[in-house]
Amino acid sequence: MEGLVSLKTTPPCLSFHALPPSTKTTTTSARKLSLVRRSLPASSMSTRRPNGVVSIRAQQSETENESATVSPANGDVETALKVKEWEVGMFHNEVAATQGIRIRRRPPTGPPQHYVGPFEFRIKSEGNTPRNILEEIIWHKDVEVAQLKERRPLFRLKNALDSAPPTKDFVGALRDAYQRTGLPGLIAEVKKASPSRGILREDFDPVEIAQAYEKGGAACLSVLTDEKYFKGSFENLEVIRNAGVKCPLLCKEFIVDAWQIYYARTKGADAILLIAAVLPDLDIKYMIKICKMLGLATLVEVHNEMEMDRVLGIEGVELIGINNRNLETFEVDISNTKKLLEGERGQKIREKDIIVVGESGLFTPDDIAYVQEAGVKAVLVGESIVKQSDPGKGIAGLFGKDISS
């Protein structure tokens, strides 16, 4: 534990004995926790601390620390589950690293924000500070999804899933648009803000923007649902779907858990984004299967050669997005699309009849021509069109011609 940064309600010298009696450990609960820990695989018995399980004093012995973490108020089972959940997160980080994935699912030393009884405090260390914005988003998402799942467990979504109308054909819409116009099919993004650009549009009406995009010739729409970093929401997805928009809808979310896919389906999604920089192969395979079962398309997003090679090795991928934005540094370079489609990779993509979507940083007809020349049959565009007073007309500006008919 490297440093206590801020302490909200906690006394200056935080120690186990300073805590109210309700947070003290009972001998039985400590014994039960130790049994749970013993039942975990040997490889996972590291000294790192589990999420939500806090070691309070830097100099405490391991036994004392464990005692201090168990709260009878929360219950033994809850504590045991937290330990297991944390172990799974750590295992996930390890598997991901073997596939060249640099984004860790969870902070290796536990979250910076801690709660013990009525106390809340922050501990900052190298191990709980995200290395870049994508990692920060993912750590936040992991916690957010755990809370959402608790409120709406899968079995509660069942009715909404059973009564959801059939999904629309996302891939078919892109193919049709390409055939109709001879230009890449447009996935137009309903995007209010982004971490790299801040607020893109103050007068943001998701339905108005979606309808303008549809009128302007978009084949599909992408709706950002992340609230914290993009000021999007699942409500936006739902209102756009319920407003009678015919374009298939991509749920633009940072998926870390299959639960989000089911939830997106209940909110009107027709397609889901899976980010290879975040998800190991096994997760991608599993999630593609779930999507297929639910009638959803998947757009699997890559940023570099290694991710492209991994994704090309996965069966059942129909759409690959090449993001020109480095999600770790924000740098945008549209030549990334060209680089990843050269040589054998491009050949494999054509053989597999995969549609490639060029994503991010596309502003002009020349940009569109450049990525089309590189081999894309679809593009995903946000900033350059959402910022126009009439986003529909912005589409004509982007393509250099009216593509609505």
Ligand X SMILES: O=C(O)c1ccccc1NCC(=O)[C@H](O)[C@H](O)COP(=O)(O)O
Binding positions for ligand X, rule: CB under 6 A:
133-134, 189, 191, 194-197, 323, 325, 327, 359-362, 380-384
Q: What are the backbone angles phi and psi of residue 322, rounded to the nearest 5°?
A: -105, 115
To ligand X, the closest distance from the beta carbon of 271 in angstroms equals 14
Question: Which residue, chain included where needed, has tokens 């699912």?
Answer: 105
To ligand X, the closest distance from the beta carbon of 363 in angstroms equals 8
Question: Which residue, chain included where needed, has tokens 């319920």?
Answer: 242
| Polymer length in residues for the chain | 405
Cα distance between residue 22 and residue 41, in whole Å: 31
Question: What does the radius of gyration of the chain's CA atoms come to, in whole angstroms?
Answer: 24
To ligand X, the closest distance from the beta carbon of 165 in angstroms equals 27
To ligand X, the closest distance from the beta carbon of 95 in angstroms equals 22
Which residue is nearest to ligand X, using beta carbons? 382
To ligand X, the closest distance from the beta carbon of 139 in angstroms equals 14
Residue 266 or residue 323: which is nearer to ligand X going by CB? 323
Question: Taking the CB of residue 238, how many other CB atoms lie within 10 A of it?
Answer: 18
Q: E strand or H helix at 227, and its extent?
A: none
Residue 201 or residue 325: which is nearer to ligand X going by CB? 325
Strand 198-199 to 220-224 pairing:
unpaired
Residue 116 or residue 327: which is nearer to ligand X going by CB? 327
Cα distance between residue 179 and residue 174, in whole Å: 9
To ligand X, the closest distance from the beta carbon of 133 in angstroms equals 5
Cα distance between residue 255 and residue 357, in whole Å: 19
Residue 90 or residue 284: which is nearer to ligand X going by CB? 284
In sequence order, the β-bridge partners of residue 199 are 193
DSSP-derived letter for residue 123 is E
Residue 133 or residue 294: which is nearer to ligand X going by CB? 133
Residue 50 or residue 358: which is nearer to ligand X going by CB? 358
Spatial contact of 371 and 187, defined as CB atoms under 8 Å apart: no
Question: Taking the CB of residue 65, how many other CB atoms lie within 10 A of it?
Answer: 20
Residue 72 or residue 195: which is nearer to ligand X going by CB? 195
Cα distance between residue 379 and residue 219, in whole Å: 10
Cα distance between residue 122 and residue 38, in whole Å: 29
To ligand X, the closest distance from the beta carbon of 92 in angstroms equals 20
Residue 25 or residue 360: which is nearer to ligand X going by CB? 360
To ligand X, the closest distance from the beta carbon of 1 in angstroms equals 30
